Amino acid sequence: MSGMGARNLNRGSILIVEDDGIIAAHLQDTLTRLGYVVPEPVATGEAALAAVAAAPPDLALMDIQLAGAMDGVTAAEHIRAAFDIPVVYLTAFTQDAQLQQAKATAPYGYLVKPAPERELLATLEMALHKHSLDRRLRQSEEWLALALWGADLGIWDRNIRTSTVLYSGRWAEILGYGLTDIAPNYASWEARVHPDDLPAMREAFNAHLENRAPFYESEHRLRHKDGHWIWVQAKGKVTERDPEGCPLRACGVLLDISERKRLEEGLRQLAATDPLTGVFNRRYFLQSIHQEISRAQRYARPLTLIMFDIDYFKRINDTFGHEQGDEVLKSTTARVRQRLRRNDVFARWGGEEFMILAIETALPQAVALAETLWAALRDAPFAGIGTVTASFGVTEYQPDETLDQWLKRVDDLTYQAKSRGRDRVCHSGESAG
């Protein structure tokens, strides 16, 4: 037995549970010689539980038929429930019913007595190795579960051919549901996607399935159980393909990014709006006007600019103070905003000057809007200040002019209104007289 008799191998500790004293002693001698630490064998299931509780071994070599009220299978069930210790069965019987009962305890091996030494060694070594792997796997799964919990990630696993999808509990929870409330198919996901986001989501997934993208990533809105929309980020990769390269399975994660989107929107608003009045700033207005000019040119649609300048604003600041001047600016923009359409772009151009980009609006309609705004301002005096008026310029975009030319024309018309005595509307369709 050269190579098998070294006592310093320290293969681990084995508890022998065997009610035949001769067999137990022989196993103890053999396993000790093979390098295992072998405590005193026990003969009953009750004694096995006590021995394991007192000094947990690395493995229990368990006879199925034992003296006492508790047989080996029952003892193994208790050990499996209370301790992370692998069990290898040792028995002289091989009835099918007995095997099925033993299998239910998830043993790490099954030896028929008398087991040859080489088979005994191989079975024990494989059992200890498999248990070590299982322990590491469980540890990895625990780490993964902890990482997913810490990252607040939901898991999805999609069968491409059948369109079935396995969702994790967290995936459903993100949407306010229990896991059993979500149908295990891809349609249950798409049905909750915002209609505006669905095409881009599908294209992102298809691009990865067709190997046009290294992975799948999509940010889209999903309808929560209570009806509101939440933003999520979905990521994933194909994990299985058939021999022809066709995707079979894809797995990934889902993360609620609603708070990030809210913060991003807040930053966009800060970057695009005037902090005092809350209307758009000059930078955003210029971005918008470039886009709308391109659209107006492409589709031959009308586009009109309205500019207005609050009259005698410096006098208001000098007489009543800058705090009152700020209130005039805020109240004026509030009154104007109430009378604009959702698609009109309203911005503070600078100081007391404001711009309105009237989209899909020809000159006559824009002039009528400007006159409505002019009247709304002059007919609502400010407490302690009195009537505050404004001078308006209105002009429609001409396809052959540059943006600078158009801006100069509306500025000139506003100046014209001021030079004529202020508190009026001047537009490009009237005579200069």
Phi, psi of 91 (to 5 degrees): -155, 160
Alpha-carbon distance of 216 to 238, in angstroms, equals: 9
Alpha-carbon distance of 336 to 373, in angstroms, equals: 6
Phi, psi of 3 (to 5 degrees): 85, -15
Phi, psi of 171 (to 5 degrees): -55, -50
Cβ atoms 248, 164 nearer than 8 A = no
Cβ atoms 14, 111 nearer than 8 A = no
Report the phi/psi class of residue 15: left, alpha or beta, with left for phi > 0 and alpha for psi in -120 to 50: beta
Cβ atoms 91, 115 nearer than 8 A = no
Type of residue numbered 371 = E
Alpha-carbon distance of 252 to 239, in angstroms, equals: 10
Alpha-carbon distance of 361 to 243, in angstroms, equals: 60
Which one-letter DSSP state was computed for residue 180?
A: G
Alpha-carbon distance of 226 to 102, in angstroms, equals: 49
Q: Is-catalytic flag, 125? A: no
Alpha-carbon distance of 412 to 99, in angstroms, equals: 98
Alpha-carbon distance of 104 to 99, in angstroms, equals: 9
Of these residues, 18, 292, 352, 353, which one is catalytic?
352
Active-site residues, by number, are: 352
